[in-house]
């Protein structure tokens, strides 16, 4: 299906840096998908060893109709490789092919590929254009949208990066057909989060359609991607650089990032950590009197139905809660040493606030294996 005026799309409204998100099947093989991009000589596809063999050639053939030269760089796969060493492979390719500042980068893969390609684009020659072509549910509903780019540091997730918006996001739903079941569940965590923070009706829809999404029903997945992108576009359009409302998109992420760092990047998928983190954040919301117990039960049941963990791992045999707290103090939302959590304080409403360490410890202990 060609990306035309009839293609389902969502617009990120950022003035002269606005861009569309195209959502449909068959977009990678349609030249019209990329017709609106600037006419330049060269492009670089950044992919990984898993996605490249599946979709790299199809995208390359399509792009060769627009660009005189299309280069490809293939990265190792996984969160464990979201670091300086892997990022340098992109810079090596750009410099080795003598790419100029008009070269367009195409991020073909999941969130790791998208984040690193965006950061490379923000940095190379102080900024070159790039396009997000997300191939996982998680990256289609969240990480490819909004311009957050970066890499991990051993002490914290996504601690090195930049805000840098793409020219275009292309969500080809056909790529979800080859997604492993575990990755599909991980993506559903980011879908689920939009209900509690912004849209109670969407939360109802997710509950009613969880089975069809797990069965990869195209219509259900298309709606999940579109509605998720609409909510994220609404938030990012108000707060591009996360100085206010955009922080609500991190529901479950403070606990989740601690799990990822504490377990070692790649042991739990990002979505698995976020799913468990949302349950922990809901428990903390309950402990603070912001929500009732029924909400916590509802969210936990939904996360379980998505095939995601709801019991947090033990990160330290001696002082598990203390280790969580140490990791969360490195979180980007922390303010002068105080950990700040995205918590639910009403129907489809989230807030960013702190909580007493003693209370957080009790929640961690209650939620941990």
Give the confidence band of 364 by pLDDT, cuts at 50, 70, 90: very high
pLDDT of residue 2: 42
Query: Is 257 annotated as catalytic?
Result: yes
Query: Is 246 annotated as catalytic?
Result: yes
pTM of the predicted model as reported, rounded to 2 decimal places = 0.95
Give the confidence band of 350 by pLDDT, cuts at 50, 70, 90: very high
Which residue of the set 270, 300, 323, 340 is catalytic? 270
- pLDDT tens for residues 280-329? 999 999 999 999 999 999 999 999 999 999 999 999 999 999 999 999 99
Query: Is 270 annotated as catalytic?
Result: yes
Query: Is 97 annotated as catalytic?
Result: no
pLDDT of residue 331: 86
Which residue of the set 152, 209, 250, 320 is catalytic? 250
Give residues with Cβ within 8 angstroms of 22, minimum separation 6: 3, 7, 8, 9, 33, 168, 169, 170, 171
- pLDDT tens for residues 113-147? 999 999 999 999 999 999 999 999 999 999 999 99
330 DSSP 8-state letter? T
Which residue of the set 60, 227, 257, 323 is catalytic? 257
- pLDDT tens for residues 21-39? 999 999 999 989 999 998 9
E strands present in 8-155: 9-12, 19-24, 42-48, 69-75, 104-109, 130-134, 148-153
pLDDT for 110 beyond 80: yes
- pLDDT tens for residues 62-89? 999 999 999 999 999 999 999 999 999 9
Which residue of the set 242, 260, 272, 283 is catalytic? 242
What share of the chain in percent tops pLDDT 70? 98
Which residue of the set 60, 81, 157, 253 is catalytic? 253
Give the chain's domains with CATH numbers: 9-178 (3.40.50.1970), 181-367 (1.20.1090.10)
Which residue of the set 22, 60, 81, 148 is catalytic? 148
What share of the chain in percent tops pLDDT 90? 93
Phi first, then psi: give them for residue 121, nearest 5 degrees: -65, -40
Q: What average pLDDT does the segment 269-288 reach?
A: 98
Which residue of the set 157, 227, 246, 333 is catalytic? 246
pLDDT of residue 3: 52
Query: Is 219 annotated as catalytic?
Result: no
Query: Is 349 annotated as catalytic?
Result: no
Give the confidence band of 6 by pLDDT, cuts at 50, 70, 90: low
Query: Is 336 annotated as catalytic?
Result: no
Query: Is 66 annotated as catalytic?
Result: no
pLDDT for 261 beyond 90: yes
């Amino acid at each position: 299906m060609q990306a035309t005026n009839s293609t389902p799309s969502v617009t990120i409204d950022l003035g002269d840096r606005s861009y569309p998100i195209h959502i449909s099947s068959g977009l990678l093989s349609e030249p019209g998908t990329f017709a609106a991009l600037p006419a330049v000589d060269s492009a670089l596809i950044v992919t990984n060893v898993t996605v490249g063999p599946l979709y790299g050639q199809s995208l390359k053939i399509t792009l060769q109709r627009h660009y005189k030269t299309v280069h490809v760089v293939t990265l190792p796969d996984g969160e464990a490789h979201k670091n300086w060493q892997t990022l340098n492979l992109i810079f090596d390719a750009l410099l080795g092919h003598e790419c100029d500042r008009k070269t367009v980068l195409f991020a073909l893969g999941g969130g790791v590929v998208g984040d690193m390609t965006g950061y490379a684009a923000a940095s190379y020659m102080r900024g070159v254009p790039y396009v997000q072509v997300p191939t996982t549910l998680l990256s289609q509903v969240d990480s490819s949208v909004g311009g957050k780019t970066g890499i991990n540091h051993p002490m914290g997730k996504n601690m090195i990066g930049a805000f840098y918006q793409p020219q275009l996001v292309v969500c080809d739903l056909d790529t979800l057909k080859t997604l492993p079941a575990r990755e599909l569940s991980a993506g559903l965590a980011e879908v689920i989060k939009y209900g509690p923070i912004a849209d109670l009706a969407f939360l109802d829809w997710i509950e009613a359609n969880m089975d069809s999404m797990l069965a990869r029903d195209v219509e259900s997945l298309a709606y999940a991607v579109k509605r998720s992108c609409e909510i994220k576009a609404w938030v990012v359009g108000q707060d591009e650089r996360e100085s206010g409302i955009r922080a609500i998109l991190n529901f479950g992420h403070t606990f989740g990032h601690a799990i990822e760092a504490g377990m070692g990047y790649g042991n739990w998928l990002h979505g698995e950590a976020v799913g468990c983190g949302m349950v922990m954040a809901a428990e903390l919301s309950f402990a603070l009197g912001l929500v009732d117990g029924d909400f916590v039960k509802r969210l936990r049941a939904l996360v379980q139905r998505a095939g995601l963990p709801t019991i947090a791992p033990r990160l330290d045999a001696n002082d598990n809660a203390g280790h969580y707290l140490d990791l969360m103090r490195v979180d980007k939302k922390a303010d002068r040493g105080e950990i700040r959590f995205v918590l639910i304080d009403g129907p489809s409403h989230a807030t960013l606030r702190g909580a007493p360490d003693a209370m957080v410890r009790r929640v961690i202990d209650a939620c941990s294996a």
